[in-house]
Amino acid sequence: MSLWKKTRFTTPTDGYEVGESFVAAAARQIRPALTVDDSHRAEYRLIGRLRREAIFSHLVYHLCVE
């Protein structure tokens, strides 16, 4: 085995864990971990959207029934 191949197999590169595939490493780098603030912000956005949809559907229902 050539020296280049030996160093390639023995030295992990930055950003990769030993035994980790390239696809798994790329997915880990693309998708950032959510912080607590981001998680709460996403929950509040979802709650706001659900409230707006409930209000809209309630108004549409009453317009159609009358």
Per residue in 7-62, pLDDT tens? 555 555 555 455 556 666 666 655 566 676 777 888 888 999 999 999 888 888 88
Tokens of 11: 């030295």
The token pair that represents 58 in the structure block: 């309630």
